[in-house]
Amino acid sequence: MSLFESKDTFYDLLEAQAQAAQDAAKEFFALSQDFAHIADHTQAIKQIEHDADDITHRLANKLDSTFVTPLDKEDLRALSGALDDVTDLIEAAASRIALYQLPAPRPDLAPSVSLLVDITQAVKQTVGVLRHIKNHADVRDIFINVHRIENESDSAFRRSLGELFNAPDADPIMVMKWKEVYDRIEIAVDKCEDVANVVESVVVKYA
């Protein structure tokens, strides 16, 4: 077991996880506008998710083999787990579009996924705060932005469900399929907020 581990090693891995989440969200946004190439987009997201899993395992192994870490191990595990969940949920949402053979995007799909792109970008910025933890007041705007996007996504999610369920002559099977996609987008956004909450608590603890 290593007594010390380079601080940058853990920060690099967390930032790589955040980057993977953003890459997956961007590819999902491309899919939302290009149903003619669903298979290509879902395969790209699957590869991102696979690579992100490798990063998660590397970080877990370093945690197990390192006695002194730059942040509490519980915080590092919570952050890594939540970031991995974001990428997994994006892959799950995209794969259901392919699995259920959804024929065309709904008008509200791209705007919803755009918010997912925005919040993964904000999360990447949030995770970057950990390298140089500042006074909580100095980074408050970063956390406020994450919470703002999450609230906006909540509203978009409710509108999407309302339009989905209340559409005239709605096909119950199609409603179920699309609801599963929307659910996973919403949970992925919520996980992004979880990441920001953990980082915020770490900043308060160490600032």
Please report which residue ranges of the chain form alpha helices under DSSP H: 7-32, 38-65, 73-99, 109-128, 140-166, 172-206
How far is it, in rounded angstroms, from Cα 83 to Cα 90?
A: 11
Predicted confidence (pLDDT) at residue 3 exceeds the cutoff of 60: no
Q: Which residue has the higher pLDDT, 9 or 118?
A: 118
DSSP, collapsed to helix, strand or coil, labels residue 50 as helix
Tokens of 57: 């395992």
Q: Count how many domains the chain has.
A: 1
Rounded CA-CA distance 32/106 in Å is: 9
In 3D space, the residue among 91, 96, 93, 101 whose CA is nearest the CA of residue 46 turns out to be 91
Residue 76 CB neighbour total at 10 angstroms? 24
Task: Report the pLDDT value the prediction gives residue 6, as an integer from 0 to 100.
Answer: 57
Residues in the chain: 207
Alpha-carbon gap, residue 172 to 179, rounded angstroms = 10
- Examine the pLDDT at 1 and tell me if it is beyond 70: no
- DSSP summary character for residue 108: T
Position 90 scores a pLDDT of: 98
**Residue 171 DSSP one-character state:** -
Task: Report how far residue 83's alpha carbon sits from residue 85's, in angstroms, rounded to the nearest whole number.
Answer: 5
- The residues that bridge with 68 in the sheet, in sequence order, are 4
Of 196, 205, 188, which Cα lies nearest the Cα of 25?
188
Q: CB neighbours (10 Å) of residue 193?
A: 22
User: Rounded to the nearest 10 degrees, what angle do helices 38-65 and 73-99 cross at?
Assistant: 160
- The domain that holds 198 is classified in CATH as 1.20.58.220
Q: Percent of the chain scored above 90 by pLDDT?
A: 80
Q: Please tell me the predicted confidence (pLDDT) of residue 4.
A: 47
* pLDDT one-digit tens code per residue, 13-31: 999 999 999 999 999 999 9
Q: Which two tokens stand for residue 27?
A: 């590819």
Domain containing 121: what range? 2-206
Least confident window among 20-29, 58-67, 93-102, 118-127: 58-67
